């Protein structure tokens, strides 16, 4: 968003007085919604734990295999889906507008798997996404910010819910007040 200043201040006030429809914030700030979804696609780490319903054997690149027995717990890595080049061209590149509706004349935008899916989808995903939108709009109302760094790779040693950058990112903040 730092590189798209025209989206920073225009139409931010209506956010604070919503119509009671939680989707209204998304319709008012489609680029911000897309940027948050793109951030989650790139940075959310696997957190989807399931119990295997049957024995499964997975082939490995080295010709071997990995066996999961029924009733064993398995953590699924959602990055396998979120980094698919056939779904997301240039999957390792941050594109704030990747999830804008109608982009590329397509109505079928693949869904990210960071929230899980089906009957196991995160029950708080709408609330969490709304909070991220409100926080981002409030931040953009209060501060001007710039970074001079190119976004670093993600630290492969990240273990929490959100991946850490491999190196710190220097950000200059200036209060708008």
Give residue 6's pLDDT. 44
**Average pLDDT of the chain to the nearest whole number:** 77
Q: How confident is the model at residue 20 (pLDDT cuts 50, 70, 90)?
A: low
Exposed e or buried b per residue across 55-79, where buried means at least 16 C-beta atoms within 10 angstroms of its C-beta = eeeeeeeeeeeeeeeeeeeeeeebb
Domains defined along the chain, listed by start:
5-49+70-175 (1.10.630.10)
Who wins on pLDDT, 109 or 3? Answer: 109
Helix axes 125-142, 30-43, angle to 10 degrees: 110
The pLDDT score that the predictor gives to residue 27 is: 75
pLDDT digit string, tens, across residues 64-90: 999 999 989 887 777 788 888 988 999
Rounded to whole angstroms, the Cα distance separating 165 from 156 reads 9
Q: Which pLDDT score, from 0 to 100, does residue 13 have? A: 47
Spatial CA neighbour of 173 closest among 137, 147, 136, 135? 147
Bridge partners of 67, per DSSP, are: 57
Which segments of the chain does DSSP mark as H helices, in order?
A: 13-16, 24-28, 30-43, 79-82, 125-142
Question: Does residue 168 or residue 70 have the better pLDDT?
Answer: 70
pLDDT top residue among 120 and 17: 120
Q: What is the DSSP letter of 44?
A: B
Does position 46 have pLDDT exceeding 50, yes or no? yes
- Cβ proximity of 31 and 97 under 8 Å: yes
Would you say 122 is a known binding-site residue?
Answer: yes
Q: Compute the distance between CA of residue 174 and CA of residue 53 in angstroms, rounded to an integer.
A: 53
pTM value is: 0.70
pLDDT at 50 over 50: yes
């Amino acid at each position: 968003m730092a590189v798209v200043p025209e989206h920073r201040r225009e139409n931010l006030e209506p956010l604070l007085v919503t119509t009671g429809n939680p989707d209204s914030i998304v319709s008012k700030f489609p680029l911000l919604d897309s940027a948050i979804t793109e951030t989650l696609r790139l940075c959310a780490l696997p957190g989807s734990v399931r119990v295997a319903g049957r024995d499964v054997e997975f082939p490995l690149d080295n010709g071997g295999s990995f066996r999961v027995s029924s009733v064993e717990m398995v953590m699924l890595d959602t990055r396998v889906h979120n980094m698919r080049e056939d779904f997301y061209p240039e999957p390792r590149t941050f594109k704030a507008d990747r999830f804008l509706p109608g982009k590329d004349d397509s109505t079928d935008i693949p869904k990210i798997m960071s929230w899980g899916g089906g009957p196991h989808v995160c029950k708080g995903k709408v609330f969490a996404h709304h909070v991220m939108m409100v926080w981002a709009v409030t931040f953009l109302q209060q501060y001007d910010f710039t970074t001079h760094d190119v976004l670093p790779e993600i630290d492969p040693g990240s273990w929490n819910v959100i991946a850490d950058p491999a190196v710190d990112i220097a950000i200059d903040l200036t209060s708008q007040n």
